[in-house]
Structure 1
Amino acid sequence: MLWIFKSAGKKNSNNKIYQFWCGTTIRQNNQPKELETNKFKDEKLDYIHMNPVSAGLVNEPEY
């Protein structure tokens, strides 16, 4: 996976080597949100777990 992060990092002048979070557009404007409720926390965890599946890196979130 390091080659994916390195490839994304090369496309963004704000990075020295790697970019961990990448998508169709590379953004550097993270906006932290407080996990105020269990529902909100569960939504964010589901989103994080499904990212590799959506990207086609794995077939199941547990992988």
Structure 2
Amino acid sequence: MPIRSFEQLAPRIHPTAYVDETALVVGDVEIGQDSSIWPMSVVRGDIQSIRIGARTSIQDGTIIHVT
């Protein structure tokens, strides 16, 4: 799974969260307990922070980016 830092901001992923190997998580992103990020999804916290709470499901092909 591509997990990337951006300008010294690294994603924080709870150990019980699932991130598909084709998803992309970048920058200031927090993924909570028992959450899931499914295929081809992108979560980009390069401008603002993104918090995905516990037991949240981000479905296939979703793009989350805050400007």
What TM-score do you get using the length of structure 1 for normalisation?
0.23
More strand by share: 2
More helix by share: 1
Where relative contact order (Cα < 8 A, 6+ residues apart) is larger, the structure is: 2
The structure whose Rg is larger is 1
